[in-house]
Amino acid sequence: MSDAQKKFYLTTPIYYVNARPHIGHAYTTIAADVIARRQRTLLGESNVWFLTGTDEHGQKVQRSAHAAGITPQQFTDEVSAQFRALWQRMGITYDDYIRTTEPRHVRGVQKLFSELYSRGHIYLDTYTGQYSVGEEMFVDGPPGTIGPDGKPTETVTEENFYFRLSAFQGQLINLIESGEFCVEPEARRNEVLSFLRGNVNQATDSDAPGPDPQTWVGASQKSAENTIAYSAKGTSYLPGALKDLSISRSSFDWGIPVPEPAASTSQKKHVIYVWLDALANYMTALGYGSENPDDIARLQKFWPADLHLVGKEIIRFHCVYWPAFLLAAGLPLPKKVQAHGWLLFEESKMSKSRGNIVRTETILDAFGSLKPKPVDWPGAPLSDEYWKHEQDLFASDVLRYFLLREISFGQDGSFSFDALVQRYNSDLANGYGNLVSRALSMIEKNLEGTHPELHLPATPTLAEAAQKLWNSASTLISSIADDFTGIRLTRVLTSISAFITEVDGFFSLSTPWKLAKSDAPQAREDLRAVLAVTAESIRIITALLYPILPYSTAKVWAQLGLGDIEAAAKNGGLNHLTWGGLKPGTKLGPLGPIFPRADKGLIQIMTNAEQNPIAPAPSKLVDEKTTHTAPPPSESTHPGAAPRTSSLPHDNPGTQVGASSAPVPELAKPPAPHQEAPASGIFATAAAATDPSQENASITIDDFVKIDLRVAKVLVAERIPKADKLLRLEVDLGYEKRQILSGIAQWYTPEDLIGRRIIIVANLAPRKMRGLESHGMLLAASHGKDGKPILATFAETDEIELGSRLS
């Protein structure tokens, strides 16, 4: 099948409307948006369908509405609108937004129920059990059992419709074991298989703080016969361990009514269990249950889903119940369910019930402020609304980058404002942004803003380094393709980040600012070559980063002189990347800062905003009117679709934002370029000190440039209580300040250190010691038998700017 004929349908969970959106919800939606954008660059716009929405039925919603003194419909209208307004602010490019209270969904769910009923998979029975209202599920245990939401369960006796889930045990095990129905990551697949096999005690992820698998309704109890069966792959399971599932409720009415003929078999009025209702959204949104030919065609084109992206706590609903419903209805199964971990805040899952949520709006507002509206803009005047949206999209990029880079996709990870600011400064302002600004401003100044022809420098060492960069770029392009396919989103970013460091190292090594001062023909030639190689590397980095940073890469693309990145994404211009795609003679666009540096004050601003949240405006619904007060979406493929482009149509905003003539926010001051050769052997001495066996091992320049060595000044040094060996330092890198912990307290007093200019490894992953984070490492030589560290420092008389890079 050619790329053009393939399709990709991906979904997020539909979010409960009982809580306002927070960054936990944004996390899944961001990941889905990244995948959708990447898929569109590969398959084209029309072959990708990205669905999100809200889950609006159930007792929990009914009770919340009651507490708020409004009807459930009013309540859901309001919260659902908040979700949509947030996705709009963030430039999320969903193709459709489904609400479970919409008629198209209600109709589809009733059709699915009827299908299951007519095929004999549903029967009526009575059940008394413990019900967790918070999680909308029955749990095993005596009255008063603590449910998965941490609250006591309620005893519920109900005549219910049951789904014959038990009949699908063996089939589901086979489908998952064979990979035909793919569950990722492996820990989650094992968890689901354990549950299905009746082997719950082997659930692999014992560290997961989520619902205890043993409390799941239908959790394993040995079957009466205690017989063992075997799957097609030969693994054993206990038949009967998977119990039938109650799929209706009659104790409340905020849900989709059970349809006829099933309904009249009971004395009571039943609504369909909220999870059967909710899961069906993935098909009803495409058109399941509709007679309309367009809906039928869409359903045929896109079902089955290629990817359901979910948080790990709802894996069972997606990997046991949902496939069983589909098998019973004779419908194809989704190809893959991918679970990610949780965002933790202060060590526990961020959730409304724990009261430890962080609102996305706080981050959008704070980072948006780094791009104040220019007072005087050449050309058309800018509306406040237009600029606000620019700010939102910029800030949304920051959050996208942070969440995917900082939290290993699939694992749990902590969120903190400190880490957000730190990561932004180190990777975006000082890393990518600084590289772009240094390289492009040299092209502007020295080559009249025109890209030179791509060729290797004449100087052999530079030619070798450039060739290596070229090789690395090719390796990067293919590894990123694999990582996107495997949804290893954090790896995508760590690989790009390593390449940025490599390019930065190449740039520093080549000292183009020195070459520019020389009139010698070889120096001129080298200068052109170095700038061409760097610009080409930036082009590749930018194309690869596009799905993650759609707004900022659009700005860089325009500065490179390549025009509109969204257009390139649409017409295959970001696909099949190869080294050498930047045409010589291309003129740069207007330059300007992409990632203004954030100072630490932003941390306090965000902390304060979370402590004193401004109450939401009452009933600010996103109806046609509200969505259109923001600048209009450029294009959409469906009435429910979000704006497709990340930037808004406005006289080529991509190039205007960076216009050098416009008063733009304070230009990020790059760390001083390399100024002088470091004292030779500093690094080698430090490395040898820790591992003498490495003394003679050689490393390549590629290895070396990955290490970001910088000059820093010690501002604060202090002992850490109860830690004899550790000192806590605050160092100034010129472009930022950071905390470093160092085990030198036996040899240096704090007074010895304050004011000294030292060398640090600036791109070391943060490490926690004694509850404090260390962001870097000091370089020291090891002296004598006891290995006394002697710090590598600069003399008072050395003229060296803080933040200078050593190479």
| Secondary structure class of 97 (helix, strand, coil) | strand
Cα gap 711→794, rounded to integer Å: 9
Per-residue binding string, ligand MSP, 36-55, x by CB under 6 A, is: -------------------x
Binding of residue 311 to ligand MSP (CB under 6 A): yes
Residues in the chain, overall count: 807
Q: How far is the CB of 482 from ligand MSP (least distance, A)?
A: 24
| Secondary structure class of 639 (helix, strand, coil) | coil
Whole-number Cα distances in Å, 641 to 52, 108, 627: 10, 20, 12
Toward ligand MSP, which CB reaches closer, 349 or 528? 349
Q: Which of 9, 10, 20, 24 binds ligand MSP (CB under 6 A)?
A: 24
Longest Cα–Cα distance in the chain: 96
Binding of residue 13 to ligand MSP (CB under 6 A): yes
Q: How far is the CB of 442 from ligand MSP (least distance, A)?
A: 42
Contact 713, 732 (CB under 8 A): yes
Per-residue binding string, ligand MSP, 150-169, x by CB under 6 A, is: --------------------
Binding of residue 359 to ligand MSP (CB under 6 A): no
Contact 116, 54 (CB under 8 A): no
765: closest CA among 405, 226, 329?
405
| Secondary structure class of 307 (helix, strand, coil) | strand
Q: Which of 20, 25, 298, 539 binds ligand MSP (CB under 6 A)?
A: 25
DSSP 513-571: HHHTT---HHHHHHHHHHHHHHHHHHHHHHHHHTTTSHHHHHHHHHHTT---HHHHHHT
Question: In the window 604-663, what residues touch ligand MSP (CB under 6 A)?
Answer: none
* Residues binding ligand MSP: number (CB under 6 A): 20
Binding of residue 16 to ligand MSP (CB under 6 A): yes
CA angle 442, 804, 399 (to 5 degrees): 75
Q: How far is the CB of 367 from ligand MSP (least distance, A)?
A: 20
Q: Which of 307, 314, 395, 712 binds ligand MSP (CB under 6 A)?
A: 314
Q: How far is the CB of 413 from ligand MSP (least distance, A)?
A: 9
716, containing H or E segment: strand 709-720
Toward ligand MSP, which CB reaches closer, 9 or 507? 9
Binding of residue 108 to ligand MSP (CB under 6 A): no
Q: How far is the CB of 616 from ligand MSP (least distance, A)?
A: 17
Q: How far is the CB of 211 from ligand MSP (least distance, A)?
A: 12
Question: In the window 50-89, what residues touch ligand MSP (CB under 6 A)?
Answer: 55
Toward ligand MSP, which CB reaches closer, 80 or 351? 351
Q: Which of 90, 329, 343, 548 binds ligand MSP (CB under 6 A)?
A: 343
Q: Give exposure, 364-388, as e/b (b: 16+ Cβ within 10 Å).
A: bbbbbebbeebeebeeeebeeebbb
Binding of residue 350 to ligand MSP (CB under 6 A): yes
Binding of residue 238 to ligand MSP (CB under 6 A): no
Q: Which of 8, 9, 10, 15 binds ligand MSP (CB under 6 A)?
A: 15
Per-residue binding string, ligand MSP, 264-303, x by CB under 6 A, is: --------------xx-x----------------------
Binding of residue 237 to ligand MSP (CB under 6 A): no
Toward ligand MSP, which CB reaches closer, 252 or 794? 252
Q: How far is the CB of 15 from ligand MSP (least distance, A)?
A: 4
Q: How far is the CB of 317 from ligand MSP (least distance, A)?
A: 7
Q: Name the token pair of 691.
A: 């591992």
Which range, of 232-240, 310-318, 323-331, 707-715, touches ligand MSP by CB under 6 A?
310-318
| Secondary structure class of 659 (helix, strand, coil) | coil
Binding of residue 670 to ligand MSP (CB under 6 A): no
Q: Name the token pair of 160.
A: 């219910």
Whole-number Cα distances in Å, 433 to 399, 415, 647, 670: 16, 23, 19, 9
Which range, of 7-15, 376-384, 483-491, 616-624, touches ligand MSP by CB under 6 A?
7-15
Q: Name the token pair of 296.
A: 């039928």
Whole-number Cα distances in Å, 391 to 316, 607, 744: 39, 20, 44
Cα gap 308→302, rounded to integer Å: 13
Cα gap 372→384, rounded to integer Å: 11
Cα gap 258→538, rounded to integer Å: 57
Q: How far is the CB of 11 from ligand MSP (least distance, A)?
A: 8
Q: Which of 8, 10, 20, 28 binds ligand MSP (CB under 6 A)?
A: 28
Contact 255, 272 (CB under 8 A): yes
Query: Which burial class, exposed, middle or buried, applies to 701 when counting CB atoms under 10 A from its CB (0-12, 13-18, 19+)?
Result: middle
CB contact set of 262 (below 8 Å; sequence gap of 6+): 113, 114, 117, 122, 124, 161
Q: How far is the CB of 255 from ligand MSP (least distance, A)?
A: 13
Binding of residue 523 to ligand MSP (CB under 6 A): no
Binding of residue 323 to ligand MSP (CB under 6 A): no
760: closest CA among 788, 790, 783, 791?
791
Toward ligand MSP, which CB reaches closer, 360 or 534? 360
Binding of residue 310 to ligand MSP (CB under 6 A): yes
Which range, of 349-357, 454-462, 520-528, 585-593, touches ligand MSP by CB under 6 A?
349-357
Binding of residue 710 to ligand MSP (CB under 6 A): no
Q: How far is the CB of 622 from ligand MSP (least distance, A)?
A: 18
Toward ligand MSP, which CB reaches closer, 37 or 308? 308
Toward ligand MSP, which CB reaches closer, 237 or 402? 402
Alpha carbon 525 to chain centroid, angstroms: 42
Contact residues toward ligand MSP (CB under 6 A) are 13-16, 24-25, 27-28, 55, 278-279, 281, 310-311, 314, 342-343, 349-351
